[in-house]
Amino acid sequence: MAKKVRQIRTGRPPKEVSDGISDKILDTALELFTTQGFTATSIEQVALACGSGKHTIYRRFKSKADLFLAVMEFQKRKFFNLLVRIQCKKENPLETLKESCRRLLELIVSDEIVDFYRITISEAEHVPEIASNLQCEESPAFLKVLDLVIFAQSSKDLNEIDPKFLTAQLLQVMTGYPLNEVLLGSKGFSSYSKRSKYFEKAWTLFIKGAGRLKKKKVRKRPI
């Protein structure tokens, strides 16, 4: 009786398997870059930690710098996926914008995001592409908030200021300042109540500056 010969699979793995391998590599690299830094992390360490061969990693990423940039995009995607869960309420687009900004504030001061920004900023010298990669208007989160700002403007809830400029200023007060404070060691955003208090003040400031003020009805005096 002839023995069955086990067939050896050759060639590239299916796309879903390949995507899964890439995500595992990026997750592992994210953890190592965050805890050890760019310089102290090697491709060999990433390969060992995620159970993949070095050649598997190099087939996907040309260098450690290329892997680091891919990790940045991976983290942005995760960040954006959390944000887009908020569905736009057609009956109240301004409330949707407010809810999105509140979620952004919680995300930007989370330990995972703060740690990643800290290592990203510190490694900008080694990976020059980082600076351009961090540009606000290139991020999916910026584009998401921009869409909400435009929608709120179309419903007459916001003044018709340049929407990109308005979005940049809104994100600066909702994410830029809080992140910068946390990176510098401030405890002003260390609890939910502190973040809520800051958010309400920041949102009020934004609305007073960009919101469409309703004209008060003036009663005519009888002649």
Q: Would you list the domain boundaries of the chain?
A: 87-210
Q: Which CATH architecture has domain 87-210?
A: Orthogonal Bundle (1.10)
The stretch 160-180 carries a mean pLDDT of 92
CB 78 within 8 A of CB 139: no
Q: What count of other Cβ atoms lies within 10 Å of the Cβ of residue 156?
A: 12
* pLDDT of 107 strictly over 70: yes
CA 175 to the chain's CA centroid = 10
pTM value?
0.71
∠ at Cα 171 (165, 175), nearest 5°? 160
The DSSP symbol for 38 reads T
pLDDT at 87: 58
pLDDT at 36: 86
Q: Which helix (H) or strand (E) holds 103?
A: helix 93-108
Q: Which amino acid is at 161?
A: I
pLDDT at 7: 44
At 22, the pLDDT band (50, 70, 90 cuts) reads confident
The stretch 34-38 carries a mean pLDDT of 85
pLDDT at 93: 87
Task: Name the average pLDDT for the chain.
Answer: 81
pLDDT at 119: 79
The stretch 17-45 carries a mean pLDDT of 85
The stretch 182-202 carries a mean pLDDT of 95
At 8, the pLDDT band (50, 70, 90 cuts) reads very low
* pLDDT of 193 strictly over 50: yes
Distance, in Å, from the CA atom of 160 to the CA atom of 92, rounded to the nearest integer, reads 17
User: Which range has the worst mean pLDDT, 50-59, 68-77, 98-107, 210-219?
Assistant: 210-219
Q: Which two tokens stand for residue 51?
A: 């159970």
Distance, in Å, from the CA atom of 30 to the CA atom of 154, rounded to the nearest integer, reads 40
The stretch 54-78 carries a mean pLDDT of 87
